[in-house]
Structure 1
Amino acid sequence: MLGRSRKRHIAKTITWRFVGTLDTILISWFITGDLWAGLKIGFAEVTTKMILYYLHERAWFKINLTKAGIIRESRVRHIAKALTWRTVGTLDTMMLSWIITGNPLAGLKIGLSELLTKTILYYIHERVWYKVNYGLKD
């Protein structure tokens, strides 16, 4: 049986992927002018990002910076998580966009555009999940 924290991380992965995929599709469509390219990029990311996001969640769960007095469960931790995730996510988006469009400049533009939108969206996602008790131990 999955532990409560793993159920939570899987649920967070799914909700974030929905938001992230929609953002990727819209940005890719806008930059390339091609809805089909936007859809291919967005849906290609579903698999890679689900795996990468789950691993990111597990890594942050195992990192206990509270005891070291560095980062508490707070907005600072959520900002740090947003920045580390965005680095991983942007590199993945840039590579997939380049491969799908065949254009490294399109990959760069799409990845850089997502830096702002996804960082804001991820921070909001983290704040919402911080208030949700699903998967937390009693």
Structure 2
Amino acid sequence: MRRRRHIAKAITWRIIGTLDTFVLSWLITKEPLTAGWIAIVELITKTILYYFHERAWFASNLGIENRKKHIFKTISWRIIGTLDTLLLSWLITGQLKLGLLLSGFEIVTKMVLYYMHERVWFASNWGIIKPPKD
């Protein structure tokens, strides 16, 4: 598997995740500028975190790609992502309650979106190196 596949997955997921964060932040804070700051900072931190999460799962060799593995990847990523959202939104707004509210909603929306993202990439052969036939 090529690294650019992992990079492409990180970018496509981050676009989806950032839009979700922006919309939820705007709905919760009712301040588009604050929502924008949360989404922009998260874009940077989560892109880096997601890339390393993806590489770690690829290196783990925990069996073949299947629905069960995608569920475990979804859960492990959501733990990392939720902690990142909580810390960033708390730091940007200065309100722990807001950070807890936002990260709480994101647990649901992001797990559903991430699982769907994993399934779409699983169905794609882009960036996969196939061994030569003898």
Q: Give TM-score scaled by structure 2 length.
A: 0.95
Name stretches of at least 5 consecutive residues in structure 1 with no aligned partner. Answer: 67-71
Read off the aligned partner of 2:54 and give its amino acid letter. E
Aligned residue among 35, 38, 47 for 2:35 = 38
Q: Which residue of structure 1 lines up, in the alignment, with residue 7 of structure 2?
A: 10
Can you list the C-alpha shifts for 1:49-86, whole angstroms capped at 9, x where unaligned?
010000000000001122xxxxx311000000000000
Asked if residue 128 in structure 1 is aligned to residue 120 in structure 2, the reply is: yes
Consecutive unaligned residues of structure 2, counting only runs of 5 or more, are none
Q: How does 1:1-138 map to 2 (within 5 A)?
A: 4-66=1-63, 72-138=64-130
**Following TM superposition, by how much is the alpha carbon of 1:109 offset from its aligned partner in structure 2, in angstroms?**
0.5
Give runs of ≥4 in structure 1 deviating > 3 Å: none
Q: What displacement does 1:47 show?
A: 0.8
What is the CA distance between 1:5 and its match in structure 2?
Answer: 2.2
Q: Percent identity?
A: 52
Q: CA RMSD in A?
A: 0.7
Count of aligned pairs:
130
